[in-house]
Amino acid sequence: MRDLIGSLSRISDRRMRALALAHRLAAMGEERAALFLEGILRNVGRWEGQGMRPVRDALVDFLALRERLGRGMIERIRRVSEAMGCVQVLDLFNDGDAYRNAQEEDLPMTPPEFKGVTLGARKAMARQPTSKWLERLLQDQDPSVIRNLLLNPRVTEAEVLKLASRTPVSARVLEEVARSQRWISRYRVKKALVLNPYTPLGTSLPLLGFLMSQDLLFVSQRDGLSPTLRSRARRLWEERRPLRTSEERASFFMADGDIM
């Protein structure tokens, strides 16, 4: 574990950290990878002072992790995780739909002000360093427009939170928020995505592990969310506790030293 933290710490780009973690997991084989991931996912939110930030950063970009591992490896990890009861790993690789699905044909793809404006023109406007149209463009339902907006340096966290909290909204738009390295690292953005019933379970479930205990309890009691999401939040909340001794912490760091 310490070797992994050290190697990830030397990588500045979080997307590259996710790819490096995926490479390590693929080398372990599915059973060891499942056990290793389950140990990390159950504890990564507890050890802020234990140098776990690089691992957290790699896991936050779970979409890149999935892409690098590939469907075949993910399916093998999922099978052994189910057999061994590795619930956190199953959540990480969940590909479930949203609890509520917006029918895209019923959603206006463009804000009224941009009726008749081509997709290419809207994408170009989203990249421009001006705040004139940004707020209206955030209502666009095309994921490529939203992708450009999220890269625009003029966009603020408050605006991204409005986007992540909007209902109804296309699931593809919310997935773009989750893919954004700049914004998914923000705690309030993670929380907003989890609390949005239009966020696919494949996005909201992996984010649960990064929420604080009081927010897990809030999610578990929130009406209008997926029963699966609420149940997982409750289970995580019940499992959260400080590791009791320094020996217990040390045992985790040393557990997989032979394969790292």
> Could you report the per-residue pLDDT of 168-217, keeping only the tens digit for each?
899 999 999 999 989 998 999 999 999 999 999 999 999 998 898 899 99
Two structure tokens written together for 87: 């619930």
**Model confidence at 255: pLDDT above 50:** no
Position 257 scores a pLDDT of: 40
**Model confidence at 230: pLDDT above 60:** yes
Q: Are 177 and 189 in contact (CB under 8 A)?
A: yes
Q: Which residues lie closer than 8 Å to 140 by C-beta, 6 or more apart?
A: 109, 110, 111, 114, 122, 126, 146, 149
Q: What is the percent of the chain with per-residue pLDDT over 90, rounded to a whole number?
A: 40
The upper half-sphere exposure of residue 42, i.e. CA atoms within 13 Å in the direction of its Cβ, equals 20
- Binned at pLDDT 50, 70 and 90, residue 225 comes out as very high
- Binned at pLDDT 50, 70 and 90, residue 128 comes out as confident
pLDDT-wise least confident of 109-123, 140-154, 195-209, 237-251: 237-251
Written as one string, the DSSP assignment of 142-200 is -HHHHHHHHH-TT--HHHHHHHHH-SS--HHHHHHHHH-HHHHTSHHHHHHHHH-TTSB
Position 231 scores a pLDDT of: 93
| Secondary-structure percent of the chain, ordered helix, strand, coil, rounded to 5 | 70, 0, 30
- Binned at pLDDT 50, 70 and 90, residue 259 comes out as very low
Phi, psi angle pair for 61, to nearest 5°:
-85, 55
What stretch of H or E contains 26? helix 14-28
Domain ranges of the chain: 2-97+240-259
pLDDT digits 0-9 by tens, 136-149:
888 888 999 999 99
Q: Are 97 and 171 in contact (CB under 8 A)?
A: yes
**Model confidence at 237: pLDDT above 80:** yes
